[in-house]
């Protein structure tokens, strides 16, 4: 199949497919006589795997590690478990940071009311950076 067909089947853009090839996440496809990329079912499976990993917000470096591990099917899966556990820790940290962000935005939101002019907008006033006296 050609790159456009692979893109349609997976929901990935052609640019993403080329990027994954360049980053060596996706095996280089064979080339036709006209030098067009020709993808096979293995490429489709790889791209589906990559897309699923990205939907879980797994970083490209982590995907590379998972793909390397996948190529060693007789190894123990401890490294895979460790990678996912580390990712869960990162997600938990981001959740904490997002909750802090939400609290800050909520406080900011409470500084303004609908019946004010923009000149008197508490949000805009609180967003102004006031230079410190030196």
The percent of residues above 90 in pLDDT, for the chain, comes to: 73
The percent of residues above 70 in pLDDT, for the chain, comes to: 97
Q: How is domain 1-73 classified at the CATH fold level?
A: Multidrug-efflux Transporter Regulator; Chain: A; Domain 2 (1.10.1660)
Q: Is the pTM of this model over 0.85?
A: no
* Average pLDDT value for the chain: 92
Q: Contact, 17 vs 3, CB < 8 A?
A: yes
pLDDT tens readout for residues 53-80: 999 999 999 999 999 999 888 989 999 9
Q: Contact, 123 vs 108, CB < 8 A?
A: yes
Domain residue ranges in the chain: 1-73, 76-113
Model pLDDT, residue 1: 93
Integer Cα distance of 79 and 87 in angstroms: 12
Question: Region 107-111: what's the mean pLDDT?
Answer: 92
């Amino acid at each position: 199949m050609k790159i456009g067909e692979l893109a349609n089947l997976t929901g990935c853009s052609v640019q993403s497919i080329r990027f994954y090839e360049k980053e060596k996440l996706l095996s280089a496809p064979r080339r036709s006589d006209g030098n067009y990329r020709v993808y096979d079912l293995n490429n489709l499976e790889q791209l589906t795997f990559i897309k699923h990993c990205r939907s879980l917000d797994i970083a490209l470096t982590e995907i590379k590690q998972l793909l390397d591990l996948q190529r060693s099917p007789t190894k123990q899966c401890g490294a895979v478990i460790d990678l996912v556990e580390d990712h869960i820790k990162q997600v938990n940290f981001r959740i904490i940071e997002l909750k802090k962000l939400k609290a800050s935005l909520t406080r900011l939101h409470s500084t303004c009311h609908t019946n004010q002019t923009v000149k008197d907008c508490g949000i805009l006033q609180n967003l102004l950076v006031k230079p410190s006296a030196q």
